[in-house]
Amino acid sequence: MLSRFLRYGIYGTIGVTGTAVALDYNNNETLNSIGAVRFGRAALTAATIAVDYKLSLLNFDPESDAYQEKISQVHLRCANRLKDVFCKNKGAFIKIGQHIGALDYLLPLEYVNTMKTLHDKAPESEISELFETVETDLGLKVGDLFESIDPKPIGTASLAQCHKAILKDGTVVAIKIQHPTVKKNSHTDIKTMTFLVNCLAAIFPDFKFVWLAEETAKNLPIELDFENEANNIEKVARALEKFKFVKVPKVYRQYCSGRVLTMEFCEGHRADDLESMKKNNIDVNKVSERLGIIFSEMIYSNGFVHCDPHPGNILISPIKNTKDKNKNFQIVLLDHGLYQILPKNFRYNYAKIWMSILNKDIKKLEELTKNFNVNEYFGLFACIVTGRAWDSILQGIDKIDFTSNESNSIKLEASKYLREISIVLNLIPREMLLILKTNDLLRGIESSLHTRNSSSSFIPLSKCCIRLINPYDRETLTNTGRDTIKNESNLKQFQFFKIYFRSIKINMISVRGNNSFVKNTHLANNLRRVRSSSNSIHNRSKNRFIAPINNNFPKAQRNFSNENQNFVKKMPAVLTTLTQNEIKLYYMLMNYRAQHGLPAIPVSKCLTYVSKVHCVDQQISSPLGRCNLHSWSNLGPWTSCCYTKDHKKAKYMWSKPRELTPYKGHGFEIATYTSHIMTPEVAFELWKNSPPHNDLILNRGAWKGKHFKAIGIGMSKNYSNCWFGLEPDYY
């Protein structure tokens, strides 16, 4: 088979190439547009690669170190050969090369790194040829349509290139014009790639990458239709309009066709440009977090996913005249030619798989991955989905830092397990292939920004999964959980916090001495990991990571019902126990009251629980803008509300202690936010200097004559809440 393939492939290539040169030896573009020449060039390269692998590895033991060293050399040689033929053939060949370059951890490192450069080095078309395309499609001369078009491209991609232009009314736009020969050559190119991939699969039984050609054949015609891309732009703009930090360019339909797309011109730098972010004081962790929000929303909520988010297609646009790091940039999404539509049942199964990974539930993971056809390869599939080693998955990917050693190990192992990886990629649903590409491209951006160790990416993922997965699905609970959590409200509450505390690091500061507090600087340096189990959290109080509520605080004394006592006992200890920073804030508030002749207020377990729950909710739902900090999302077992300054929704805030705990009275909240890490000093100063908050603390104004008998405090990263109650808390 090999000899026959080589003989016909090489001789055939020489023949068609010679004929093409004879026909038009002076016109390289004309030569390149001849299908037989492009086929012959690709066939010759494929044959050369096949021979190189067969002969170079002939006398090596696949289990030996020498084999691994040798195959790495062959991978690199062959990757460069492929890149060379992709660049010469252009169009669809560049596109498939870019796809290979996006498959970190799935293909040998030599191929991935070699093909990555194709994202930035796609061949340019002559501006005169592009003008001809515009005039043919839009029916008018370029000068009648545009005031000017910059002949230097903003960017060049495999299928098109983009130029800055000005409309007749002075509007600055970006015009994306398809390379002239791409569509004409695409049918032949797809046939060529499919034929050669099938030949290689016949020669090398372990070569199971036919799916790559099949996916290109399916997606290329879609990407070549710029009217479809315009539809995608408008659809995703509607889907993401609630996120003010996202910018999707406006489409100018009257200047669009199947090969021409005119859009709003957007400024910005690449998503992996770390230096530009430092220069503009942009928080890279916030960039990663918001990318996570955008793509989690696409995958889990909308089922409409941008499948080419390489760094050149995501711009970070600085916003001047603001020091607030939450508002000093926008994320601009470009290149909307390829979207994957995900059916709801696919999204549900995928969300359940992610939750089983975050929960380290290997038995559940094995069961769920049967829906994706991977069966005994479920562990490898989990590694592919997360981009993490199996040991890290077993220990908890939200708890084990992603190190350069782990990254290098995964990339090296990809060569050893190429056969198994290719089997998995052939087995999984086709929708999953583009999701894996999207995952890898986003992880690549995180690596460039040095944010892969940040746990913030798990927050939007968990939030969207909560919205999708049935919160009453008892299969996610252990037997102990079933016995303990009896009703639907508590079950939903249990799942909400189980996912949240597995997804982020809680702000707990180590104590050195009784009255010494470690300065709270950057989250990554000062926060200690906390396990999701309330028992493990509670046990840490013995080591002074947490200060439990005890007799040092004033406390109401009274007998209470066993039913309510049991309810309170079920609350996770981390939500009813003050951290050292929260204790410090409590004493600052009580000392301030004492200076004005007011008594100390007993600490309430129930109100502390409500305070901390609200901090959790604020941290993941970010109630900034029209809805203020007293708002509650729709993620938990409570009545959601958008709280506004007219106080029309006040009853939904006052009732929260009764909704969430056995507390009998109303609760009144003061809340604050900072774009930096919250400290007791910051919270206290903000409240003291705000007249309405100061009045509540000191029983002035509308609060004069009120006697607060319970208080609860919560702090989490950027937020702090304090709840006051008129009824004592006996729990």
Lowest-confidence pick of 121-130, 441-450, 504-513, 633-642:
504-513
Last residue of a domain, one of 305, 323, 340: 340
d(CA 716, CA 582): 10
- More reliable by pLDDT, 321 or 603: 603
Determine the pLDDT at residue 121: 65
Provide mean pLDDT across the span 184-210. Answer: 77
Determine the pLDDT at residue 333: 96
Of 316, 294, 317, the closest CA to residue 305 belongs to 294
d(CA 172, CA 167): 6
pLDDT at 453 over 70: no
- More reliable by pLDDT, 110 or 106: 110
Instruction: Classify residue 479: in a domain, yes or no.
Output: no
Instruction: Classify residue 234: in a domain, yes or no.
Output: yes
pLDDT at 8 over 80: no
Determine the pLDDT at residue 105: 63
Instruction: Classify residue 482: in a domain, yes or no.
Output: no
d(CA 723, CA 555): 16
Q: What mean pLDDT value characterizes the chain? A: 78
d(CA 529, CA 504): 8
Last residue of a domain, one of 340, 368, 390: 340
**Domains held by the chain: number:** 4
User: Which three-class secondary structure state does DSSP give residue 34?
Assistant: coil
535-572 pLDDT, tens digit per residue, is: 332 333 333 223 333 334 444 444 444 555 555 555 56
Instruction: Classify residue 474: in a domain, yes or no.
Output: no
514-542 pLDDT, tens digit per residue, is: 332 222 222 223 223 222 322 332 333 33
Q: Is 308 a catalytic residue?
A: yes
Lowest-confidence pick of 203-212, 417-426, 526-535, 557-566:
526-535
- More reliable by pLDDT, 50 or 232: 232
Instruction: Classify residue 481: in a domain, yes or no.
Output: no
Sheet holding 314-318, edge to edge: 246-247, 329-333, 314-318, 269-270
Same domain as 518, residue 400: no
User: Which three-class secondary structure state does DSSP give residue 164?
Assistant: strand
611-653 pLDDT, tens digit per residue, is: 998 988 887 777 666 688 888 887 777 888 888 888 888 887 8
d(CA 224, CA 216): 12
Same domain as 106, residue 11: yes
d(CA 593, CA 461): 42
Same domain as 375, residue 361: yes
Provide mean pLDDT across the span 260-287. Answer: 93
Same domain as 27, residue 170: no
Asked if 657 contacts 606 with a C-beta cutoff of 8 angstroms, the reply is yes
d(CA 401, CA 389): 11
Of 491, 717, 522, 499, the closest CA to residue 612 belongs to 717
The set of residues, in sequence order, having a beta carbon less than 8 Å from that of 656 and lying 6+ positions away, is 610, 614, 632, 638, 667, 669
Same domain as 197, residue 236: no
Instruction: Classify residue 484: in a domain, yes or no.
Output: no
d(CA 128, CA 168): 20
Same domain as 615, residue 589: yes
Determine the pLDDT at residue 569: 53
Residue 304 buriedness (CB in 10 A; 0-12 / 13-18 / 19+): middle
Of 43, 377, 416, the closest CA to residue 193 belongs to 43
Provide mean pLDDT across the span 495-506. Answer: 45
The set of residues, in sequence order, having a beta carbon less than 8 Å from that of 65 and lying 6+ positions away, is none
d(CA 321, CA 646): 29
Asked if 269 contacts 315 with a C-beta cutoff of 8 angstroms, the reply is yes
Same domain as 365, residue 242: no
d(CA 61, CA 446): 38
Q: Which domain holds residue 162?
A: 127-182+222-340
723, containing H or E segment:
strand 719-725
Residue 318's CATH number: 3.30.200.20
Determine the pLDDT at residue 206: 64
Same domain as 151, residue 68: no
For residue 641, the cross-strand partners are 632
The set of residues, in sequence order, having a beta carbon less than 8 Å from that of 91 and lying 6+ positions away, is 158, 159, 179, 181, 182, 185, 186, 189
Which position has the token pair 């796809």?
99
Asked if 588 contacts 690 with a C-beta cutoff of 8 angstroms, the reply is no
Determine the pLDDT at residue 448: 85
Joined together, the tokens standing for residue 303 give 């089922």
Provide mean pLDDT across the span 5-24. Answer: 39
Dihedral sign for Cα 119, 125, 131, 137, please.
negative
Provide mean pLDDT across the span 87-100. Answer: 83
Determine the pLDDT at residue 571: 58
Determine the pLDDT at residue 265: 97
Same domain as 577, residue 506: yes
In angstroms, what CA-CA distances link 563 with 248, 335, 516, 617, 656?
53, 58, 39, 27, 20
Taking residue 618's Cβ as centre, other Cβ atoms within 10 Å add up to 25
Q: Looking at 189, 308, 335, 440, which residue is catalytic?
A: 308
- More reliable by pLDDT, 318 or 156: 318
Instruction: Classify residue 480: in a domain, yes or no.
Output: no
d(CA 222, CA 220): 5
What phi and psi, each to the nearest 5 degrees, are found at residue 393? -65, -40
Same domain as 666, residue 620: yes
DSSP letter for each residue of 331-360? EEE---S-EEE--HHHHHHHHHHHHHHHTT
Joined together, the tokens standing for residue 222 give 């879609």
Last residue of a domain, one of 324, 340, 356: 340
Joined together, the tokens standing for residue 170 give 């002075």
Lowest-confidence pick of 215-224, 461-470, 557-566:
557-566
In angstroms, what CA-CA distances link 470 with 299, 529, 564?
17, 28, 27
Instruction: Classify residue 211: in a domain, yes or no.
Output: no
pLDDT tier for residue 457 given thresholds of 50, 70 and 90? low
Determine the pLDDT at residue 157: 85
Same domain as 192, residue 172: no
Asked if 79 contacts 111 with a C-beta cutoff of 8 angstroms, the reply is yes
Same domain as 85, residue 196: yes
- More reliable by pLDDT, 410 or 710: 710
Of 221-230, 431-440, 625-634, the range with the highest mean pLDDT is 221-230
Which position has the token pair 């562990």?
379
pLDDT at 489 over 70: no
